[in-house]
Structure 1
Amino acid sequence: MLKFIWRTSLLSLFISLTINGQEPSQLRPNILFILVDDLGYHDLGYTGSSFYETPNIDRLASEGMVFTNAYAASPICSPSRAAIMTGKHPAELNITDYIPGNRHYGPHKNQKLASHPFKLFLDPKETTIAEALKENGYSTFFAGKWHLGETQDYFPDKQGFDINLGGNNTGTPSGGYFSPYRNPQLSDGPDGEYLTDRLTDETIKFMSAEKKEPFFAFLSYYTVHLPMQGKPEKVRYYEGKLEKFKYQEAPFVKEGATYIKYRQNMPHYAAMVESLDENIGRLLSALEENGLSENTLVVFTSDNGGMSTSSQTDNIPTSNLPLRAGKGYLYEGGIKVPLILRWPRAISPKTVSSVPVIGTDFFPILLDTGKSKSRSRSILNSPSLTQLLNKETPKDRPLYWYYPHYSGGLGGRPSAAIRLGDYKLIRFFENDHYELYNIKVDPGEQKNVTTVLPKKTKHLKKELIRWMIAMEVKLPFPNPAYKK
């Protein structure tokens, strides 16, 4: 069955491209996958930001296909990244929190539930995108944040990447964003060199080198994750821009012990977003200058929603409004992400897809593109690249999330969720509470309609429970150290 689906999907792609006058030898494009850390859906000009300036990313969006319903597989980085790499859900991989996770630091007396141990590495037995493409003749390259294992046995060079620059156990840049980086996998540059620039430099060098085989370059920026460190001249520019708005009131609301940001106003974050954007422009220019642009599939996305909540007011980078909450939550602000695909040879410019897609879909889509045989079960449930390019509307399929943890100082609670069609049901484990939202008419998730639509609620409950049983998830349990 798996072979049939894969061959059928590949044959459809072949027919589609041959009709457009392209030769079979051109079916395998280069792939540049750009993953940004903690970039919120509304942090870009084309998605509605007026404070951040992103002309190059906006240009990328106009030249390809943008997705209005793209999701990370988790509201936290490590599980989301593992899902992208393998095509498997974080619950199936048993990587459900960032590595090593909050539980690593001992019991929390203020948390009602406790979570079971999870894997602190991406198991080498899993097949990664890099391994599958490498088997099919691709040269593979990784630069930036990895965060999928605490020892060198689990770093990118052990997971199918020929080259690893910067990828290790760390979730944040150890030395900050300016050299010296204190990163054993990345040599220091001149004092003051900016990490986002350096990772781009290395990626351009790899893509520009003469090769007989196509390449798969995975550029995983540390930006825009904490610490907030922008280039001084850019920070000053956004400080001046902020002055023009002359806001009087504080840009926060408080719910319990958590502050929620409702305005994009941090100059350092804006500066980091602008540096990201400049480097996207450099990447696109390098592809054009080297004659690689036409047959390179560029993927641009984020590993989870933007960080918009905290127990402190001085370190909240962005706002996801009108989406609710942010990183660490299963509300839209925590899992909805920007997604752009650009491939001039096959994707028409200014294309918009409203098909709901999720992080596990990258594996089968990229392997379909690269003519590689998928070993992931997710291909059975993912839209093919051919469907997306032909603007077909796949049959509604459920998307699932499972996050049985507290998201540290962010305020998120142990929960699971399902989206099917326009509706999303969230289950909160602390009190077995359910919330149902019509995402299409209520993207800010302000109106819980569980009592209005009891049949829909019951159906989605049943589907979510059925899926959790199939995944053999380990539910959170009463925390013995909990004190009210």
Structure 2
Amino acid sequence: MKKLNKIGYLILLVSICFSCGNKSKTAESNIKEDKAVQQPNIVFILSDDQSWTDYGFMGNENIETPRLDQFASESLTFTRGYVPTPLCSPSLATIITGLYPKDHGIIGNDKVYERKGNRKENRAKAYKPVIEAFEKQTTLPDMLKEKGYLSFQTGKWWHGNYKVGGFDYGMTHGNPNRGGRHGDFGLQIGRKGLDTINSYVDLALKEKKPFFLWYAPFLPHQPHTPPQRLLDKYLPKAPTEYIAKYWAMCEWFDETCGQLFDMFEEKGLTENTLFVYVCDNGWVQEPNKNTYVKTSKRAPYDLGIRTPIMYKWQVK
């Protein structure tokens, strides 16, 4: 595992990604046909509610995460990364905009709203100004679109329809009257396979365009409903059933990451794809309750905001 403390190297890595389109007109004309090849595809993998301690490569001896362990060994890995908040929505908004919550305006999962009457309508009404303000922000998909990228949203997404974030295609409709709050149909990704991602990638290949993929599955987030085979694996060694379920969810998430890596390998896309990994916020499972320890999620401590951050670009 490569461990670097110099932020300058990270800045250099990111700048390389965006330098592809900053060539002279003459150079652009000479490499026009190879543009899609030279511009790397970009995949963001976002874990949801997972402690920084809960990976094999971070020293956990109970939870098995073989695919992410391998990924870490092949990546530029920052083991002491941090997100700005210990809560999903503002953290994800920062990741997609590069702004602090005070600047992008998302400072919580929900606005305070009237609990009497139609709660869905009341929440939507209270949250509408937040989404309208967020829509004015420049996001990573917005910037990549200027470079010719297609952007695909799957999984967790709090801020209305996927188009609000600048994505070209997405799974989240964001309509509160149809159950939209933090991902709706997008939350099926990973838990019910990766077919949608496969279709998106094939579309980009057909159009011969580089692409950005947002893979933010509802994993290992509650509900903790892992496959029975994984639960049976952890029940004998976990102190309680609640912890066994959480451990099993972490391995299930790891499996889906492996399926994603395998898909890209089979399509011959691994070498020219920049993979980025981060978790939105932490989680420590309460041993005897279906909830989290109060010093983890929603708390401004390491267990709430620390995460490994990894970058892998094989061709580099």
* TM score, norm. by length of structure 1: 0.51
Runs (5+) with no aligned partner, structure 2: 1-10, 21-30, 116-125
Q: CA deviation at 1:84?
A: 1.0
* Partner residue, 1:225: 221
Matched, 1:60 2:71: yes
Select 2:297's aligned residue among 304, 322, 327: 327
Q: String of CA shifts for 1:194-231, please: whole Å, max 9, x gaps.
A: 75243523213322442311010101111111221111
Question: How many residues matched?
Answer: 274
- What is the CA–CA distance in structure 2 between the aligned matches of 1:217 and 1:11, rounded to whole Å? 15
Q: String of CA shifts for 1:432-462, please: whole Å, max 9, x gaps.
A: xxxxxxxxxxxxxxxxxxxxxxxxxxxxxxx
- What is the CA–CA distance in structure 2 between the aligned matches of 1:37 and 1:241, rounded to whole Å? 24
3-state SS of 1:49 partner = coil
Q: CA deviation at 1:344?
A: 0.5
- What is the CA–CA distance in structure 2 between the aligned matches of 1:12 and 1:185, rounded to whole Å? 31
- Using a 3 Å threshold, how does the CA distance of structure 1 residues 233 and 195 change in structure 2: closer, same or farther? farther
* Partner residue, 1:133: 144
* Partner residue, 1:338: 308
- What is the CA–CA distance in structure 2 between the aligned matches of 1:294 and 1:67, rounded to whole Å? 21
* Partner residue, 1:293: 270
Select 1:315's aligned residue among 290, 301, 308: 290
3-state SS of 1:68 partner = strand
* Partner residue, 2:104: 93
Amino acid at match of 2:290: N
- Using a 3 Å threshold, how does the CA distance of structure 1 residues 83 and 195 change in structure 2: closer, same or farther? closer
- What is the CA–CA distance in structure 2 between the aligned matches of 1:12 and 1:29, rounded to whole Å? 9
Q: String of CA shifts for 1:378-405, please: whole Å, max 9, x gaps.
A: xxxxxxxxxxxxxxxxxxxxxxxxxxxx
* Partner residue, 1:71: 82
Amino acid at match of 1:303: D
Runs (5+) with no aligned partner, structure 1: 15-22, 107-116, 149-153, 176-182, 188-193, 252-263, 347-484
- Using a 3 Å threshold, how does the CA distance of structure 1 residues 195 and 128 change in structure 2: closer, same or farther? closer
On the 8 A contact 1:138/1:216 being kept in 2, the answer is: yes
* Partner residue, 1:161: 167
User: Mapping of 1:44-443 within 5 angstroms?
Assistant: 44-100=55-111, 103-104=112-113, 120-121=130-131, 123-148=134-159, 154-166=160-172, 168=174, 185=185, 195-198=189-192, 200-209=194-203, 210=205, 211-242=207-238, 266-308=243-285, 313-316=288-291, 325-346=295-316
On the 8 A contact 1:143/1:199 being kept in 2, the answer is: no
Q: CA deviation at 1:69?
A: 2.0
More helix by share: 2
Q: CA deviation at 1:281?
A: 0.9
Q: String of CA shifts for 1:277-320, please: whole Å, max 9, x gaps.
A: 111111111111111000100111111112456xx941135x7x
On the 8 A contact 1:51/1:265 being kept in 2, the answer is: no
On the 8 A contact 1:164/1:185 being kept in 2, the answer is: no
- Using a 3 Å threshold, how does the CA distance of structure 1 residues 270 and 168 change in structure 2: closer, same or farther? farther
Q: CA deviation at 1:35?
A: 1.0
Amino acid at match of 2:201: M
- Using a 3 Å threshold, how does the CA distance of structure 1 residues 266 and 95 change in structure 2: closer, same or farther? same
Task: State, as a whole percentage, how many aligned pairs show the same letter.
Answer: 32
Amino acid at match of 2:209: E
On the 8 A contact 1:308/1:325 being kept in 2, the answer is: no
* Partner residue, 2:39: 28
- Using a 3 Å threshold, how does the CA distance of structure 1 residues 169 and 55 change in structure 2: closer, same or farther? farther
- Using a 3 Å threshold, how does the CA distance of structure 1 residues 208 and 62 change in structure 2: closer, same or farther? farther
Structure showing greater radius of gyration is 1
On the 8 A contact 2:97/2:104 being kept in 1, the answer is: no
Amino acid at match of 2:252: S
